Amino acid sequence: MSTTKDFIVAQLKEEISGFKAEISEKSVGKVLKVSDGIALVSGLAEAMMSEILIFKTETVEVTGVALNLEENQVGAIILGDYTAIKEGDEVIATKRILEVPVGENMIGRVVNPLGEPMDGKGKIEAAKFYPIEKIAPGVITRTGVKEPVQTGIKAIDAMIPIGRGQRELIIGDRQLGKTALAIDTIINQKGQNMKCIYVAIGQKESKVANLVTKLTEAGAMNYTTVVLAGASTSASLLYIAPYAGCAMAEYFLDKGEDVLIIYDDLSKHAVSYREISLLLRRPPGREAYPGDVFYLHSRLLERACKLNKDFGGGSITALPIIETQAGDLSAYIPTNVISITDGQIFLEPDLFYKGNRPAVNAGLSVSRVGSSAQIKAMKKVAGKMRLEAAQYRELAAFAQFGSDLDADTRKKLERGKRLYEIFKQDQYQPLSVAKQVAVYYALINGFMDNVPVEKIKEFEAGLYKYADLNDAVLKAIETKKEIDAEVETSLKKLIEDYKATVDYLIK
C-alpha cells in the first residue's frame, strides 16, 4: 500500500499548518423575506447588480444573485434550494459578478446553467470563468456575415440561408418540429469546424434526455454542450440559462472559433423573467411582461456576432426558438424577437399536417443577411426558389377552382409540386450541401419533369446513392463551391446516367 497512516497524518499536519483563515471585512445583510425563489435582503449597502450573494443557512450555503438594488433593501433571486433559507439569515456579498465555468472541457457535457455537470460523468475542470452578462462586441470589432452555416435542411439552405454570425429565429406553434430543425442543424455541423451549444430552457427533461441520446448516436456530442434548465428548474435558473450558454460560447469566440448556439426556447425564458419581475414587484406591462423584456432578449441576441480578422475572426450564430400560441405572430414576445433577429423561419401547421415536413413557410420566412453567405453553387441553383415556392402555393390555391389552365401555368404547377416534394425531409437526416446542389440542379434544369410526383422521393434517394458511388462530382462541388462548365457537364452526365437506370419515368 502506498498510503500509510503516517503519511496521511503528516499531510494533514502540513495542510493545517498551511491553513490561514482569512480575516477580511465583509458586507453583510439579513434576509427580510423569502418567497418563491426570491429574497429581500436588508443591508448590503455596496451590493452590485448581478453580484453573487451567499445565503448562510443553518445547514447549507445557498447562492443568489442581486437583481434589484433599492434604497434600503436588495432584491435577489436564489439559485438553489430556497426552502432552506429563513428570515434573519445572514447574507454575504462576494464582490463577484455571476460567472460560469467555460472551456474545452464543457464540450460533450450536459450542464446546468451554473456550469455544474448534470450527466453523471464527473467533475468538470474549467479553464476559465466568464461573466454571464457581457456587453456585446462593438461595431469596430465586427464584420459582415459571409460564411454559411450549413443546416443540412434542403428548404432552409436553399431559401433561407443562414450565415455564421447571424441570428435566425425559428418560430411556430408547438409540435411543428422547431427543435427538430435545430437538432438536425447541430448534427450537420460534423466536420464543419463548428462548436455547438444547445440551451434547453424550460423543456421537459425526458425530451432533452432523448435529444442527447440522438446527438450521441449521431456523434454530435463531440462538439456540443447542452445547457439544461428543465421544466422543474426554478425561474431564476431558467432566467440565467441563455446568458450562461452565451458565456460558454464566448470562450470559443475569443479563441477565434465559430459557435452555433440554440436557445430553446425564448418564450419560456420571457415567462420565467416575468415571474421573477412580478415577484420582485416590478410594474407589469403588456401581457404582464415587465418593461425591459425587449432588452432581455436584445442584449442576449446582440452577443451573436461575426468578428473581423483583427479580433480573431470568430463567430457566434444564434438560433433562438419561439413558440407561438395558435400561430399568433403578433403577440408581444414573437414580435420583439422577430424585430431583433436577422430573419425568421416560420413553421406552419397547415404544411405540417399536409405532410410537408419540415413545415417551412416560404413566404413568411426570410433571411436578411444569409444570402451573401451562400456558396456560389447553391446561389446558382436556388436563386429564385423562395419566390417560386411562394408563387406555387398561391397558384395551387387558385388552380383548385378551374381546370382550364394554360400550358405555362400547368408547367409551373408541376414544377412546384416537385419542388415541395423535394423540400420534404425526414428528421435526423441532414443532407450535405453538394447533394442539395445536385438535386436542385436536376429540378431546375427539367431533369425531374418526367419523374412522377409520387416517385420523387424514391428518385431523390436513388440519386444520392448513385452520386455517392460516383463521388467525383460531389467532391468537385464541395471543393470548388461553384458550378463551372466542367462541373456542370459532369453533373448533367451523372443525372442522365442515373435516370437511365430507373423505370418509372413518364413517357
* Residues contributing to the site for another protein (CB under 8 A): 15-16, 19, 21-29, 43-46, 71-72
Report, in Å, the least distance between residue 28 CB and another protein.
5
Report, in Å, the least distance between residue 25 CB and another protein.
5
DSSP 114: T
134: its cell numbers:
457581457
43 vs 108, beta carbon nearer another protein: 43
46 vs 404, beta carbon nearer another protein: 46
Please state the length of the chain: 507
| Catalytic site residue from 96, 286, 368, 410 | 368
74 vs 160, beta carbon nearer another protein: 74
- Decide: 373 and 164 in contact? Cβ < 8 Å: yes
- Decide: 67 and 240 in contact? Cβ < 8 Å: no
43 vs 103, beta carbon nearer another protein: 43
368 is catalytic: yes
Report, in Å, the least distance between residue 45 CB and another protein.
5
Please list the residues that pair with 402 across neighbouring strands: none
45 vs 453, beta carbon nearer another protein: 45
- Decide: 145 and 306 in contact? Cβ < 8 Å: yes
320: number of Cβ within 10 Å? 28
Report, in Å, the least distance between residue 34 CB and another protein.
19
90: its cell numbers:
445572514
- Decide: 43 and 30 in contact? Cβ < 8 Å: yes
Helix (H, G, I), strand (E, B) or coil at 75: strand
**Half-sphere exposure in the Cβ direction for 450 (13 Å, CA):** 10
- Decide: 290 and 274 in contact? Cβ < 8 Å: yes
Report, in Å, the least distance between residue 76 CB and another protein.
14
60 vs 127, beta carbon nearer another protein: 60
E strands, 143-274, in order:
148-149, 162-163, 169-172, 194-203, 224-230, 258-264
DSSP 283: P
**Mind telling me the catalytic residues?**
368
